Structure 1
Amino acid sequence: MTAARFLVVLDADSTLIRNEVIELLADEAGRRAEVQAATEAAMRGEVDFATSLRSRVAALEGVPVSAFERVRARIEPTPGVRELTAAVHDRGGVVGVVSGGFHEILDSVAPELGVDRWRANRLDVADGVLSGRVDGDIVDGAAKASSLQEWAAELGVDPRATIAIGDGANDLQMMAVAGLGIAFNAKPAVRAAASLVIGPQDLAEVIALLP
């Protein structure tokens, strides 16, 4: 495999896309307000991400798998995302996404937006409906950081040539191990820890920072 020049890793929800997928799924269960409040607390770092995710996924119990198609139809890519992924590829880089969200949505959304590799949680399904449990290990902040490091090693990318972009507390570890950590429309704790802060919701602003 040819070594990449650099690696850009993004969070998915509220970074790669404008939505929080778990809130769209919660709409299907009529529990959006409850799940939205829990999501915001987790992103601010007020509660442990894995614990929060399990409680939010429990609220999805009984949602049919047919809901995935409706949720995918509601996904809004973040402005500038296609321009950013194209610019990364033009410069010999690779785009990764590591998400506390779900493969069931990301598997169709990521390739459409020019993402080369991605990792996310999986939802447990029984008899065509969500069981309310996460299937397998949870992708939390530590998993995000290790994913960036593993991908960089696989691609032959110097850790200093990695860029991490995120908005929530579970992105902080990933941003800390990257050569450049960018807070994008981020919570206060994330803005304070980032190398750079980008405010306007346009990922094309990152292009000027690419090597």
Structure 2
Amino acid sequence: MFFDVDGTLVPGTSSSAFLAGFLGHREELTEAEDAYARGALDNRRVSELDAAGWAGVPEKRVAGWLDELPLIAGIAETVAWCRRHGLVPFLATLAWSPVGGHLSERFGFHAFCGPRPETAGGRFTGRVARHFDEYGKRDFALAQARGLGLAPGSCAAVGDSRSDLPLFASVGLSVAFNAGTDARAAATVAVDGGDLREVIPALSRLVTGAR
């Protein structure tokens, strides 16, 4: 069971834009993210532009900011529902690895993926240590499924945007949650709402075997 972060668990914005507000380059990053959504920039370039604004910032300071990250209601309850019904919850995301690590520890996601900012001496350098794009997101999910002995058709993904499309095309059940036009068109089902628990009826198809 694979959940996106930005636009899905973090509503109305992205975790990167939230952090950029503290770092002082939110306007520039928002423009870059909009260009990515239009297909005018790739995620590598967006990551490089964003990472430059992190230069010199202590890792502990970013960790503290993440405690205030705006999140949709119902994450803990949805993760608990997954585990009660034999579904292993993962984060499949292009959010920075500190974000994925924070959310995994906080809510009990099994593992996460994402680009990694470079650090040295407890501070961010302003460079990207590991790039990640929408195809890496898909490949991460498929590798996790293989590791559990599962076929892609027995997996599901919840997301909202362009970065979810390769993964949506690879799993048996895809849920477009508060999503844009492209994700809705690619998904098995679309759900809208202010609480993540609203996707549970759709995810129940994995438990019952219905599609």
- Shorter-normalised TM-score: what interval? 0.7 to 0.9
SS in 2 for 1:57: helix
Q: 8 Å contact 1:184–1:201 — kept in the other structure?
A: no
* Cα pair distance change 1:44/1:202, threshold 3 Å: farther
Q: CA offsets per residue over residues 105-158 of structure 1, 9 Å max, x none? A: 32232132131121222111234432221112x221111111111111111223
Q: 8 Å contact 1:28–1:63 — kept in the other structure?
A: no
Picking from 46, 49, 64, the partner of 1:70 is: 64
* Cα pair distance change 1:188/1:169, threshold 3 Å: same
Q: 8 Å contact 2:51–2:128 — kept in the other structure?
A: yes
Moved more, 11-20 or 142-151: 11-20
Identity of aligned residues (%): 28
Q: 8 Å contact 1:43–1:169 — kept in the other structure?
A: yes
1:190 aligns to 2:183 (yes or no) = yes
Matches within 5 A, 1:97-116: 97-116=91-110
Q: 8 Å contact 1:29–1:62 — kept in the other structure?
A: no
Large movers: runs of 4+ above 6 Å: none
How far apart are the structure 1 equivalents of 2:51 and 2:125?
A: 9
Structure having greater relative contact order (Cα 8 Å, sep ≥ 6): 1
SS in 1 for 2:32: helix
Give the match for residue 59 of structure 1.
53
Matches within 5 A, 1:70-149: 70-136=64-130, 138-149=131-142
Q: 8 Å contact 1:60–1:132 — kept in the other structure?
A: yes
Paired amino acid for 1:156? G
Could you state the TM-score of these two structures normalised by the residue count of structure 1? 0.87
- Report the alpha carbon displacement of residue 16 of structure 1 after superposing the two structures with TM: 2.6
RMSD across aligned positions (CA): 1.9
Paired amino acid for 2:189? L
Q: 8 Å contact 2:94–2:133 — kept in the other structure?
A: yes
SS in 2 for 1:116: coil
For structure 1, the residue ranges without an aligned partner over 5 or more in a row are: 1-7
Q: 8 Å contact 1:16–1:77 — kept in the other structure?
A: yes
For structure 2, the residue ranges without an aligned partner over 5 or more in a row are: none
- Report the alpha carbon displacement of residue 62 of structure 1 after superposing the two structures with TM: 3.4
- Report the alpha carbon displacement of residue 178 of structure 1 after superposing the two structures with TM: 0.9
Matches within 5 A, 1:35-54: 35-54=29-48
Paired amino acid for 1:106? G
How far apart are the structure 2 equivalents of 1:33 and 1:109?
A: 25
Q: 8 Å contact 1:80–1:204 — kept in the other structure?
A: yes
- Report the alpha carbon displacement of residue 96 of structure 1 after superposing the two structures with TM: 0.7
Aligned residues: 203
Q: Which structure dedicates a bigger proportion of its chain to strand?
A: 1
Matches within 5 A, 1:21-36: 21-36=15-30
How far apart are the structure 1 equivalents of 2:103 and 2:42?
A: 27
SS in 2 for 1:123: strand
Matches within 5 A, 1:161-176: 161-176=154-169
How far apart are the structure 2 equivalents of 1:84 and 1:33?
A: 33
Q: 8 Å contact 2:91–2:100 — kept in the other structure?
A: no
